[in-house]
């Protein structure tokens, strides 16, 4: 399986998880020339910008360990681009989902503090 296919499969697992927990999926793989967002979801009038982290193993840390301050800045930039493009005036949050090598959600952070 290619890295592209693995990432796509992990994002599908994450989207299904969100749907099962009452979120509406607004966008999958939203992209511009300068940024991207894996999943844009909505629940209770709040938009969630969801980073999906897949790890084939935890030998070098979990997927969520890879959400560094640099990654958070990229996520915030991407979220602001989406907000501006969609003219969204409501609340939004940055979120992350970790997917394991057997394609199961192992962790979900609904609101990452920036």
Contacts within 8 Å (CB) and 24+ apart, 4-11: 6/54, 7/52, 7/54, 9/103, 10/52, 10/54, 10/99, 10/103, 11/38, 11/39, 11/52
Q: Which residues share a beta bridge with 50?
A: 39, 95
Question: What is the tens place of the pLDDT at every residue in 62-109?
Answer: 666 678 889 899 999 999 999 999 999 999 999 999 998 888 998 899
Binned at pLDDT 50, 70 and 90, residue 6 comes out as confident
Alpha helices in the chain (DSSP H): 3-20, 69-86
Question: What is the tens place of the pLDDT at every residue in 22-45?
Answer: 999 999 999 999 999 999 999 999
């Amino acid at each position: 399986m290619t890295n592209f296919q693995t990432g796509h499969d992990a994002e599908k697992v994450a989207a299904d998880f969100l749907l099962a927990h009452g979120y509406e999926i607004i966008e999958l793989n939203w992209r511009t020339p300068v940024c991207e967002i894996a999943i844009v979801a909505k629940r209770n009038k709040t938009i969630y910008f969801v980073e999906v982290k897949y790890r084939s193993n935890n030998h070098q840390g979990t997927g969520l360990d890879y959400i560094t301050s640099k990654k958070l800045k990229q996520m915030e930039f991407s979220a602001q681009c989406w907000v501006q493009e969609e003219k969204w005036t409501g609340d939004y949050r940055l979120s992350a989902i970790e997917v394991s090598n057997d394609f199961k959600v192992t962790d979900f952070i609904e609101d990452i503090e920036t």
